[in-house]
Structure 1
């Protein structure tokens, strides 16, 4: 059986990050829409 792979690049908006530039986990679900 061959493996299926998928890659998608998503641009993170400034308001989705904390002062260290790390994405807040609450925004992850919006990336899966």
Structure 2
């Protein structure tokens, strides 16, 4: 899906979200 995907992390900062995405990529998950 295009656009911004809203994750259930309402308190997450941009930095935390970026780190989460990197962790997901490292785990082989497409984000």
TM-score range normalised by the length of the shorter chain: under 0.3
Say which structure, 1 or 2, has more relative contact order (CA 8 Å, 6+ apart). Answer: 1
| TM-score normalized with structure 2 length | 0.25
Q: Highest Rg: 1 or 2?
A: 1
Write 1 or 2 for the structure with the bigger share of helix. 2
